[in-house]
Structure formats: structure tokens, C-alpha cells
Copies of this chain bind each other. A is one copy, B any other.
């Protein structure tokens, strides 16, 4: 294998996207309409390549009558017309358009759909409350490690709550208590009066607490979706000066949510727009949204919620992307973390063979290190694996400083299934895989006790492995660690000329010594693998 497989993979023949497909998903919500375009290779890799969002407020004025207003329908028809023109100009013929709560509940649904079809050529699939919950669930289990717990998806028109057991959907319900509807029905003053907010809370409390199957138990997680929750997340992140600019996987506590709710309640809509992190076109419904979320969490007995940036749109996409042999199986990634890492690697056309070789070397050393000499935990093995697989993806940006670029891509890309702390650790491992003294840097506030030490030790293994395969030809096939009281001996099992490996490792022995307090001796023997 050549050192330039990573270049080959940047070039023509091994490009994963050469047989890619495109699908447009149009989501016609009660508050906003959104078009996303996804480029994908079935079962392998996907990425969002375009997005258009428009605040349509389709459910405006529907709270009492369940009739879509003429002005709202005109705005909606105009937006869909633009989306259709956009798809046409872009050469996209595969379009999935779905309508949720507002359209579902409207008495004048049929006429509206017929109008859309006539004016835009787009046929809209109206999701039932169950279907809306199901696709929200499908996104959540495919982009988090949720095993047992709940998915909560709140939009402008409705809120869905679903029970998840062993990654399968159980009970689920859809309430027409979305942020736009609740705001229109209860919060008529600006700023809202205490009496109005209280009436909304009381109403929701009664409704949500009637759900007998919705109760937090030990070890359960709740994953939340929807623009209203992401808005709360943005406000919290600004409030605490959070070091990451990522929403997916972010966890907020009920206490933080209540602080946001009380702050919103004090302010007029105009004043809310001045809050750092507030999207102006969400300011009017932000209080209603936050009250609904607070009540939903309290009713279930949850003191925190994990935000998913994916939702119904992605759920619909996964059904298309994950083609299973049995048609009736729920389309789930077998292992979300693993899929994330492979997806990110493929997106940046990583040198898969070298990455896997580095992973085999680091994990072999990790497994051979006696428990007494390190502070790592079994769970850290996953992080070491992910960092090994992704350490070179920054080469897609530039060889020079590629360790920094890899870290940037990991922090700014997405690694669904890992927590923010884990993502930051993976990024730091990669950041220091060539040089520099590993430190937690600006991520220290997100870390657990001992993570600084663990980072140094895991990083030492990654750096050694990178030097062992410095010529990227897999010449050193195995590593054997022999340990003494204050020394370690690393034997490389090589096939072919191992001098680059030996020379390279030799220059980085001090990293191992500093990490584990052991003198390192490196030797070479013919591989018997």
C-alpha cells in the first residue's frame, strides 16, 4: 500500500460519492417550512448539501377554528412554489414532502393540498400523529445512543412523546400543543401576564400527567427534538459561555430551562430579540415553547434532556438510506457511534487502511497495558478507536497542521452517539497526535476528574502508533509490550524494511515515558503474523 492512498482516495476512483443520489425533503410544519437536500450513498455515507428555511406560520390563527387562513395558505403556497423551482433548477427529481400538525388538523386540508399540487406539482404526504412520532423516534435512535427512555418532539403545532424500549418504539402520543398554538391560545399579552403563563402551565400539567406510561425510571434518557428546544439550547449555551458551537448531543437541565423560561416571561417580544442566541423570528413563540418543554419534563419526572438536532426530516431519510433485507424491520444503525465515525471518515475520504492499522496498533497497546500503569477506563477504548480512525482526516484540508484541521473537522462536523465531552476528547487526541503537550485547553470545564491524565496516556499510544506506521505502508504488523518495574519494551513485528518505523518511534519515546513514567525501549523482530 502506498503512502498516497489518502491522495488516491481524494482522487477519482475510490470516491464514495461517485454513485451518490440526492433527495429533497420538504417539511411543512406549523411554524416553519424547510427544504433540505441530502446527498447519499445508500447504507454508506450521507451529508446535507443544501437547506432553505422559511417561517411560514401556517397555523397562524388556527388555534380556535382549525381552519387554515387565506393569508397563511398563500404564504405556504408561495414557499412550496419556490422550493419546487429550486429543486427543478438543481436537477433534483426525488422529493419527499410531508405536512404535520397544521395541515393534519385543518378542516380545509383537502382544498389546500389540491391547490399545492396544481400550483407546484408537489404531492404532500400528511403524516398522522403516530407517523410524526415514529419518524421523530427513528431519527433519535439513529443519532443518539438512546436504548431505553423517551423521545419528545415539539413543533409549532404539536408535541409528540414516544416510549423507547431496547431501541424499539412503544407507546406514543401526539398532542396539538405546539409552541405557536399554545402561544396563540394562552399568551395573548406582550409581555405575557403571570396569569396567562400560569394558565398555560396548569393546562399542560393536567394533560401531560394523564400519560401513565410516561415516567422516568433509573437509567432512562429523554431525547428532545424540534426548533423550540434548540432555541432554548442556544440561550443556555450563550448564558454559560459554552465552549462548543454544537447543538446535537447537548444536555440541558430542567433548572436551566426554568431559568430561561423565567427570563423570557419577564421580557416583551422586542426585548427577547436582544437576548444572545435568540433567533428573531422565534422570539414571539419562545416563551410558549419553553413552558411546554418545562411542563413536559416535569410531568415525566426528568431533570434533564439531551438535544437531538435531527428530527422527522432525518427520520424520513433514514427509511430511505438504511435499506434492510427484511422489509418489515425498523431501519436502525447497528451501532450509532461506529456509523458516525465511518461516515465522517468517508466524507473526508480518509485513508481507511492506514486508519484501521493505527486503530489496531493503539488498541493492541491499550489492551496490553497492565491496569496498574494507567488511569484509563474501559470506555476510553472507544475514544481511542475513534481518534485512531479519524486522526488524519484533516489532510483533506492541508497536510501542514493537519492535526489541527482534523480536530476542527471533528469539533465542527458531527459524531452522533458521542457526548460533547467525548467529542472534545477525541478532537484533543487527534490535535496532539503529532506534537505538542496534550492539555484540555478550553474544554476543561466540560471534563471529568482525571481526564487530563487520561488524555496524555491515550495520546501517547496514538502518537507511538502513528510513528510506527510513519511510512503508512503497514510494515510493522504487530506490537508486543513487555513490562518491567520501571521500564517497558515495545517489540515491533515487521514484515520488510522497518527502519523508518524504528527511527520514527525512537524520536517520540519521551512521550511514552512522560505519560506512563516508564523508560521505553523499542526493538524489532520479523513478524510472524
Chain A residues with a Cβ under 8 A of chain B: 2-4, 7, 10-13, 15, 17-18, 20, 22, 37, 39, 47-51, 78, 81-82, 85-86, 88-92, 347, 395-401, 404-405, 408-409, 412-413, 470-473, 475, 497, 499-500, 503
Contact = CB atoms under 8 A, between A and B. Distances in A.
A281 to B, nearest CB: 11
Contacts of A500: 82, 85-86, 89
B90 A2 contact: yes
A49 B7 contact: yes
Nearest to A81: B499
B399 A413 contact: no
A47 B399 contact: yes
What's the number of copies of this chain in the assembled complex?
2
Contacts of A37: 3
Given A2-B90, A11-B20, A89-B497, 17 more contacts: A3-B86, A3-B90, A4-B91, A7-B20, A12-B12, A12-B13, A12-B15, A15-B15, A49-B395, A78-B503, A85-B471, A89-B471, A396-B396, A397-B409, A397-B412, A397-B413, A401-B412
A471 B399 contact: no
Given A7-B39, A17-B10, A405-B412, A471 B22 contact: no
A329 B20 CA distance: 45
A444 to B, nearest CB: 20
B20 A82 contact: no
A296 to B, nearest CB: 27
Contacts of A88: 497
The majority secondary structure among interface residues of chain A is mixed
A17 B89 CA distance: 29
B12 A90 contact: no
The 9 A-B residue pairs with the shortest CB-CB distance, nearest first, are A3-B90, A89-B471, A2-B91, A12-B18, A89-B473, A12-B12, A11-B17, A11-B18, A49-B399
A517 B329 CA distance: 59
A373 B259 CA distance: 46
A526 to B, nearest CB: 17
A347 B398 CA distance: 9
A324 B51 CA distance: 45
A11 B7 contact: no
A471 B20 contact: no
Contacts of A47: 398-399
Contact of A89 (B13, B404, B472): B472
A367 B85 CA distance: 31
Given A85-B471, A86-B500, A405-B412, A4 B39 contact: yes
A230 B126 CA distance: 63
Nearest to A401: B412
Contact of A4 (B22, B398, B473, B475): B22
A88 B498 CA distance: 12
Contacts of A3: 37, 50, 86, 89-92
Nearest to A91: B2
A51 B412 contact: no
Q: Which of A17, A91, A397, A499 has most chain B Cβ within 10 Å?
A: A397
B51 A473 contact: no
